[in-house]
Structure 1
């Protein structure tokens, strides 16, 4: 295997964020006294949240605004007299307690950390991501965590990857690979920074973007064989 620095996206790559997100959202709403029709409300929240994260990555909204605004808009759209700041606080606290691993994450991290160095690259909230990693049991395999909040720039900005690779013990472009589920953040970021990438695509979605992964896998169990094949090419 030619790679020795493995940069992993966290949410929906190593951790099943969608499962954790729904558990945390439901827990938050019940804590605020709401228990009816949570599934429909959650779907609306997801759409609003996604739009705000895209705005954050484009630099048009701050993370502090995002954390509260997603709840404010959801409540306003549904005529709910609930406190968005309280919702944000409860939700973020819950996220670190509702960690769900993607199948194969533990084994993959153990195997790759024995080969080289693993770093986490995430646009998520800095202290929450650290707490979630601690709760996941993956921490012993991870050398460092790079967050956009600490860096000041978000994926796919090359400045984020400059910051990230500066945290590694050793960095060589040809020995570095990003593993992530998002073409527009992880894979495009790798393309712009000039390093290899592995697109984690469990839904087997079509790639209709300009982002070009070096390899593609549908399961974390396929990552090591894919990287070995890439090294042999």
Structure 2
């Protein structure tokens, strides 16, 4: 295997963020005493997700701050559904719940354990620094992870090359041709790898079509496919 530095996105790559998000959102509404039918609350969650995604895109483009995002997503969602709930309180409750609600993607621990025996594993995330570190600690991934690079600590977000400049300085050793990013986001993980000149693996369990400008070195449908794909890539590059 030619790679020695393995950079993993966290949410929806190693951790099932969608499952954690739904549970944390439900706990937040319960704590706030929100009233409504199951259908009403489901519709509120769907609206929240859409607003949250749009705000994260704005954050990654540098047009809003993370502090603004954390509260604004709730303010907009509550306003859209005519709910008189405290967005600031919702933000605090949600982040606290999210830190304690960890759902692993199948094969995540085994993959990190395998690759940490070959080289160095780092996590790269645009998430909130303290929350992400707590989630990693609760996930059993920590024993196999050498470092965690967050956009909050760096000051720049994926796919900005300055985020990757910051990331590789945390590694024990960085060689461009021996580094690979594994992530689910074409616009953040894979595009970031393209701009930084390193290999990338697109984790694509949904079998989505790539209609973006980002070009992964290869793609996998499950985390169990990553190591075989890395070995195949190494064999293909070996001299005859």
Give the TM-score, by structure 1 length. Answer: 0.99
Q: Deviations over 1:10-48 (max 9, x none)?
A: 000000000000000000001101153221110000000
Which residue in the other structure is 2:77 paired with? 74
Which residue in the other structure is 2:205 paired with? 202
> How far apart, CA to CA, are the structure 2 residues paired with 1:38 and 1:99?
22
Task: Indicate yes or no: 2:24 matched with 1:24.
Answer: yes
> How far apart, CA to CA, are the structure 2 residues paired with 1:60 and 1:232?
43
Which residue in the other structure is 1:228 paired with? 231
Which residue in the other structure is 2:54 paired with? 51
User: Aligned to 1:122, which of 112, 121, 125?
Assistant: 125
User: Aligned to 1:146, which of 144, 149, 157?
Assistant: 149
Which residue in the other structure is 2:184 paired with? 181
Aligned length: 233
RMSD: 0.6
List alignment gaps of at least 5 residues for structure 1. Answer: none
> How far apart, CA to CA, are the structure 2 residues paired with 1:52 and 1:184?
15
Which residue in the other structure is 2:163 paired with? 160
Q: Deviations over 1:93-121 (max 9, x none)?
A: 00011100000001101100111100000
Q: State the secondary structure of the residue aligned to 2:52.
A: helix
Which residue in the other structure is 1:214 paired with? 217
